[in-house]
Amino acid sequence: MSAIVLPIEEYRPIPGESGVGCWGIPGAIARSSQMQVVFDRIRRVAPHFRTVLVTGETGTGKELVSRALHELSPATGRLVTLNCSAVVETLFESELFGHVRGAFTGALQDKVGQCEFADGGTLFLDEIGDMPLATQAKLLRVLQNREVQRVGSLSSRQLDLRVVAATNKDLRRAVREHQFREDLYFRLAMVEIQLPALRERAGDWPLLASYFLRQWAGRYGKPVAELSAEAEQVFTLHEWPGNVRELENVLGYACMMCRGDTVEVEDLPSYLLAPLDRPGLGVAVAGVAVAEEAPAGVAMNTLEACEARILRQALHRAGWNQTKAAQALGTTRDRLRYRMKKYQLGKEQFACSEVSYG
């Protein structure tokens, strides 16, 4: 789970290290202004909603939002989750709406569908964009009429149901491409909650990292308590395409590998320390430590020093072939040359640097 789980009484302002408060909802806390907007919307919507659409990249916490909406609502029933991408298309209607005995081959007894099972509570439809079009039409009727009809049945059952749908797809585009029903989209998106990616949430990853380190350290029975300055630089440069879920898993691995109380660069997964298939220079180097001194006359902050160190190592590995180094870094030769000039990087400067191989 990509969550910071707290007792219900602790969803209140939490003092931050610099005096900045952290607000939470059931299942998560954050410090960034982007997430405060999300939390505020959840609190305002939860007492009244019937349908909510939650959108965002994978790993941003859409299931947590569904749980928070349910727990803060007046619903007395359970929260039921259905992953639409995991259901076989031919059995989708039976899974969602239920069926009666004899409705189709193999229907040996009546079955309660997920809609009925969630009666009085909340139904969370994850990956709603993967729902077949035929099923979408029947779901729309359930949402409009607040009743469900089992497959093979002639009668309907009234429901008291809240529905939260989530997706990492662009449903507006899916509507334009006739892959998602427009009427269902507008029904679901009466309230839309968009979750920002972790890279857009300034100040949140250190808070989350501290929590996850404590969790993993407790689970493994290890004294791990913090990240080294070098590991923090790697985390700052990484774009976190898997968002909070990726951060949690990375810290779980790092805690497992850590030999002391501080996570070092060598404790991190290797993919964080190698060029990634994306533009820019957000990479670090595994196995080689290069002197951090800046060239004479070049003033650098910590992030720039890390970038210069990465550039030097990439160039060294490429035999100072700028084209090969640029390809390894996932950038262009012109951008690489600009940064080499910025940091006054050359073979002579590299030769004077201290290089150690681990």
Residues 88 and 187 in one domain: yes
Percent of residues, the chain, with pLDDT higher than 90: 59
Q: Which residues pair with 79 in a beta bridge?
A: 122
Encode pLDDT of 215-245 as tens digits.
999 999 999 999 998 899 889 888 899 999 9
Which of 194, 215, 247 is where one domain is finished?
Answer: 194
Domain containing residue 237: CATH number: 1.10.8.60
- 225 and 151 assigned to the same domain: no
Q: Which candidate, 131, 160, 128, places its Cα nearest to that of 145? A: 160
Boundary of a domain, candidates 169, 194, 219: 194
Question: Which candidate, 98, 104, 110, places its Cα nearest to that of 138?
Answer: 98
d(CA 200, CA 241): 11
Residues 273, 149, single domain; the answer is no
**Residue ending a domain, choose from 138, 172, 194:** 194
Residue-number span of the structural domain to which 223 is assigned: 201-357
Tell whether 153 is covered by a domain.
yes
Residues 119-175 pLDDT 10s: 999 999 999 999 999 999 999 999 999 999 999 999 999 999 999 999 999 999 999
Residue 251 lies in a domain: yes
- Which SS3 state, helix, strand or coil, does residue 330 take? coil
Residue 315 belongs to a domain = yes
Q: Is residue 352 part of a domain?
A: yes
Output the CA–CA distances (angstroms, integers) from residue 205 to 49, 85, 107, 212, 239, in the order listed: 30, 29, 49, 10, 11
> What pLDDT does residue 349 have?
52
Query: Do 255 and 174 fall into the same domain?
Result: no
- Both tokens of 352, joined, read 């004077």
Mean pLDDT check: name the lowest of 78-92, 229-243, 248-262, 328-342: 328-342
Number of separate domains in the chain: 2
Of 85, 58, 52, residue with least CA distance to 2: 58
Tell me if 180 is assigned to some domain.
yes
Question: The domain that contains 129 carries what CATH number?
Answer: 3.40.50.300
If asked whether residues 299 and 257 sit together in one domain, one would say: yes
- Quote the mean pLDDT of the chain: 82
Q: Are residues 207 and 108 in the same domain?
A: no
One domain for residues 124 and 57: yes
Instruction: Indicate the pTM of the whole model.
Output: 0.72
124: β partners: 81, 164
* 205 in the same domain as 189: no
